Amino acid sequence: MKKDKNTETITIAEGSSATSVKDIIKAEKAELRAKKREERLKKKQKIAYDHRGNIIPDLNKKHVKGIESKKSMYGRMFILPWCIGMLLFFIVPLFESLWYSFCYVEVAPGEMYSVFEGIENYRFIFEEDMDFVNNLTKSISSFFTSMPIIVIVSLILALVLNGNFKGRTFFRGVFFVPVIVATGVVMTLLTRSYGGYGAIVQLSAKSAEDAYSAAGTTSGMDFSALLNQLNLPEDLTAQLSKMITDIFNTIWTCGIPVVLYIAGLQTIPAQLYEASKVEGATTWEEFWYITLPMIGQTILLVIVFTLIELLTQSNSLVINQAYTQMIDNANYYHSAAMLWVFFAIVGTIIGLIILIYSKLCLKRWE
């Protein structure tokens, strides 16, 4: 039998008075809708049917519920407190600040009036506020110089601390306790007493007056006075003092990366090292071909943690500027715009780093 390409046979329900194709389609659509409505009704009534469409009596008693629904109900209850807190203290403020970054905001006690202004604030911070662009480039470039140092120094420290020697627990404590102790006020007091009015400035200054004046002007570590006594060229002194200060700060920021690295190092199976020893690998080769590839994920984690720590700490230049704008000048709309620009850039950087790193290193090491 020859089949025409353009026509197909359609089964039509008996007794239907349809004459054209349009009518048939209409009728079938109506049927489908009715079926759907019926199903919806079934669902609404929460009546359990078996595959033939008969009602299963046992499952329709009120107290019987599927294990899955019970599980998810508990799941919701478990996560609810956290979700409420997150919504209230993070997500709502976050979007409010996004909204304010597009507004002119007037703060009155207990209230806030905002007028929508479009991208005016963003235009202002980029075109009229010269400090902002400056601070932005400074904090981002300082991040790119100090991050490799932290990642490498903490890796070395972790390798050393992970070795076997007597008093390992003690030395780990020595490196980890400052991380725990030195936060907030204690951190300021410690560094100020030691570097500011304390030991180092006083040791380096020629007289007591110098020391006190130095204490008044500097916050945190300052070794420049000590270096000035060595009569080196000025540029070199500045560079050196910056480096020494950076080393100190680096070691204190290295605490958490070191812990992360040690943890990563401990997951490398010892058999790998034994095998490589049998094959006659040197320590250098061991490090290069076993240790580094095995802690690839940890390195990524350390990079992200360091980035977050460096860029979101409150003494970062941009955050500091935004904070002063917000508190001292009551200029919340500009500060919100600044922060959103900053976080967009930080987010992009983190994304790019993760992408590049996983493409270049992780794939090769797999």
- Residues in 119-178 at the binding interface with other proteins, rule: CB under 8 A: 157, 160-161, 163-165, 169, 171-178
User: Which range in 2-10, 50-58, 82-90, 134-142 contacts other proteins by CB under 8 A?
Assistant: 82-90
Contact between 88 and other proteins per CB under 8 A? yes
Confirm if 320 and 337 have CB atoms less than 8 A apart: no
Contacting residue, 13, 30, 91, 115, with other proteins by CB under 8 A? 91
Return the residues of window 331-350 that contact other proteins according to CB under 8 A: 332, 339, 343, 346-347, 350
Residue 156 and residue 149: Cα distance in Å, rounded?
11
Amino acid at 90: F
Provide the sign of the torsion angle of the four alpha carbons 29, 32, 36, 38, taken in this order: positive
Contact between 69 and other proteins per CB under 8 A? no
Q: How far is CA 194 from the centre of its chain?
A: 32
User: Which range in 5-13, 45-53, 81-89, 234-242 contacts other proteins by CB under 8 A?
Assistant: 81-89
As measured in angstroms, the least distance from the Cβ of 261 to other proteins is 9
Burial 65-82 (b: 16+ CB within 10 A, else e): eeeeeeeeeeeeeeeeee
DSSP output for 43-62? HHHT--B-TTS-B-SGGGST
CA neighbor of 308 nearest in space, from 351, 350, 260: 350
Residue 221 and residue 237: Cα distance in Å, rounded?
15
User: Which range in 5-13, 44-52, 190-198, 227-235 contacts other proteins by CB under 8 A?
Assistant: 190-198
Contact between 78 and other proteins per CB under 8 A? yes
Contacting residue, 12, 32, 86, 352, with other proteins by CB under 8 A? 86
Contact between 213 and other proteins per CB under 8 A? no
Please, which residue, 49 or 74, has the CB nearer to other proteins?
Answer: 74
Contact between 102 and other proteins per CB under 8 A? no
Please, which residue, 27 or 350, has the CB nearer to other proteins?
Answer: 350
Contacting residue, 154, 191, 241, 321, with other proteins by CB under 8 A? 191
Amino acid at 99: W
